[in-house]
Amino acid sequence: MDIAIIGAGLTGLALAKELKALGHSVIIFEKSRGRGGRLVNKRFNWASLDIGAQYFTVREPAFKTKVDDWQQQGLVTPWQFTPYKMNHGTLTLSPDNTERWVGLPAMNAPAKFLANELNIKFNCSITRIEFQNLKWTLHDQKDKFYPGFDWTIITAPVEQSLPLVTEHAAPPEAITQIKHTPCWALAFQTSTPLANSEIKGIFGDEIIRWVSRDSSKPGRKEKSSSNWIVHFSPEWSKKNQPHQPFKDLTQVEQQHWKQRLIETAQTWLRPCFDSPIAISNSYFHFWRYANLEENDALPFYWADKEKGLALAGAWAAGGRVEGAWKSAMMLLENEFKL
């Protein structure tokens, strides 16, 4: 069969890899210029940083088998450290038994491996899909069209996926009620290394949800120990979000947001260290679909087999990296008889 997959995140890449192995012809359409979705790594002249998922966890045996395989191939490794907890200006140790994993040499390593030898059209945003004579045609933002697909599988966030399918099908309420909350991400490098070098990760509060010393992750080539990632909380990000797409903001408006994030982070982090936090380089990103709101009826995926139409993604299976993989495997097992 000829299969179109929209989205080159972990779900889309895993689906494409397995479907190709089954003998199907697969094309992935990705609106950005990179693959991996939340496993993104950004390279700057001052650092290479994971600005999306900071690590991932393993809870189910099937995913553990896959992660073990990745580890044997040198794609992932455990990140062992004792996290801290910040609560209204007080920093304390917060030990746990969680095994955290990171990609080598960056979080996007598994995605890059999966993408090898796959047919991916980058910078191609699908704006409409059309179903005629039992075949799908995809239309992109440049009015180009791609006809002749037996299946269309959409792996974008559910809020972006539903507008593409509502003309052709009615997914159940469990799908339509799933919502995301946003997250501001701030990456920065300090002028000099900060004190308390044992701090590698901090769980936060209602302002900042997570802080990590990105350069402390195993396998990183960065010589500096002063590269940090800050993920602001869903609550704070929702209250402090731009009222239009970020790409449409002027440079002055973008600079305003950047300065606001930096000042908030400096104030919040000040109790953690014994010296001022002087930032020499920085980057920021607004994840509009970052975290799942509470939902007790996650479906793993949705498919209309008669038409050859499906929705899948991390959002359908818990929102974590493992969820992205599980959603792909459940769809493959049930609809393509792996």
pLDDT average, residue stretch 37-50: 93
pLDDT tens digits along 131-177: 999 999 999 999 999 999 999 999 999 999 999 999 999 999 889 99
* 186 plus 286 within the same structural domain: yes
Query: Which of 257, 276, 292 is at the close of a domain?
Result: 292
What would the 3-class secondary structure string for 115-173 be?
Answer: HCCCEEECCCCEEEEEEECCEEEEEECCCCEEEEECEEEECCCHHHHHHHHCCCCCCCH
pLDDT at 198: 86
Residue 92: burial class (beta carbons within 10 Å; 0-12, 13-18, 19+): exposed
- CA 228 to centroid of chain Cα atoms: 18
118 and 159 housed in the same domain: yes
Which of 9-23, 144-158, 199-213, 289-303 is predicted with the least confidence, judged by mean pLDDT? 289-303
> The domain containing residue 338 runs over which residues?
1-43+109-178+297-338
On whether both 216 and 234 belong to a single domain, the answer is yes
Domains: count for the chain: 2
The Cα 119–Cα 76 span in angstroms is 24
Q: Are residues 204 and 276 in the same domain?
A: yes
Judge if 202 and 275 occupy the same domain: yes
Task: Give me the pLDDT at residue 192, please.
Answer: 79
The whole-angstrom separation of Cα 62 and Cα 66 is 7
* Res. 338: pLDDT tops 70: no
At residue 224, the pLDDT reads 61
Q: Is residue 198 located within the same domain as residue 91?
A: yes
Enumerate residues 6+ apart whose C-beta is below 8 A from 43: none
pTM, two decimals, is 0.94
Q: Looking at residue 243, what is its pLDDT?
A: 80
The answer as to whether 49 is a domain residue is no
Same domain? For 280 and 145 the reply is no
Separation CA 204–CA 52 (nearest Å):
17
DSSP classification of residue 240: T
**At 155, which amino acid appears?**
T
Split at pLDDT 50, 70, 90, the class of 202 is very high
Question: Is the same domain home to 207 and 283?
Answer: yes
Task: Let me know whether 195 and 327 are in one domain.
Answer: no
